[in-house]
Amino acid sequence: MKNQILSKLNAACSWRDTLHVYDTVDSTNTRAKELAKQGAPHGTVLIANAQTGGRGRMGRRFDSQAGMGIYMSVILRPGCQAERLMHLTCAAAGAMCDAVENTTDLRPGIKWINDLVWDSRKLGGILTELSVDPGTGLAEFAIIGIGINCTHSQEDFPAQLQQLAGSLAMATGKPVDRSGLAAAMIEALYDMDRRLLTQKDAIMERYKADCITLGRDITVHQAEGIRHGKALDISPDGGLVVSFADGSTETVQSGEVSVRGLYGYV
Ligand code: BTN
């Protein structure tokens, strides 16, 4: 797999020198964190054929069966205050839409904040983890973890995901070039990294265009309870601006948002 990816990866992409490809790991994000703590450089890329403990947001598992998806993590050392990286997940999501579109001609939608979707099914997700120096507020490193379902048919997913998850093969009806997609993902993240701090407005405009949550009826699940509303906008830092049924408008920064019409929510 490593040689196939390298043969498809732009020769000018310097991250090719710090590419690690594994057969099976617990989680590429966990492994990336270990490598980052040992000093691995900016642009270290980890890809696994399978994960035994693939992780998603909100402590969820990410189904990571052997040879069926791309399970990738990238270590970034942006060298800036952590507060300037609030849009990182949005930037990575847009980059992944570019990578999928370049490889398959299909551009997924984004369900706020980190899900790639097609036809109301989840194609993949992004888990961003940040290590911050508490004294200075500087970001020591960021890990961007991405999982994309590639070759599955519906029956390949665990029973509880069969109505919720989809794959690029299901979406396109064609075989998926996994090494080509992996190379496109690395290139898209490399490009995103170069624009991350200087082209924030353009990145967020593109994110809004891809975000299928906007304009939809949603349910926000927060510690205080469940609230219904309509998704109005995305804030510059990636928050979801919601008009709630009680007439208030608030920006939601975290938590779970269900979108009517998606993942079986009616
Ligand atoms: C989500 O759906 O909430 C995010 C899923 C992120 C999954 C990827 S797979 C590669 C990397 N390693 C992990 O353990 N998680 C991310």
Spatial separation of the C-alpha atoms in residues 33 and 180, rounded to whole Å:
26
Q: How far is the CA of 28 from the centre of ligand 1 (A)?
A: 8
Bond before 70 cis per omega within 30 degrees = no
Regions of the chain with pLDDT less than 50: none
pLDDT digits (tens, 9 = 90+) for 79-89: 999 999 999 99
pLDDT single digits (tens) 46-80: 999 999 999 999 889 999 999 999 999 999 999 99
Is 125 touching ligand 1 by the criterion CB < 6 Å? yes
pTM beyond 0.85: yes
pLDDT confidence of residue 266 = 60
Q: Supply the pLDDT for residue 263.
A: 74
Q: Is 55 in the pocket of ligand 1 (CB under 6 A)?
A: yes
Tell me how far the alpha carbon of residue 236 lies from the centroid of ligand 1, in angstroms.
Answer: 24
Residue-level pLDDT at 92: 98
Question: Which pLDDT score is estimated for 254?
Answer: 80
Longest dimension (CA), the chain: 56
pLDDT of residue 148: 98
Is 165 close to ligand 1, i.e. is its CB under 6 Å away? no
88 CA from centroid of ligand 1 (Å) = 15
Between β-strands 19-25 and 44-51, what pairing exists: parallel, antiparallel or unpaired? parallel
Amino acid of residue 31: R
CA of 14 to the centre of ligand 1 (A): 24
pLDDT digits (tens, 9 = 90+) for 202-219: 999 999 999 999 999 999
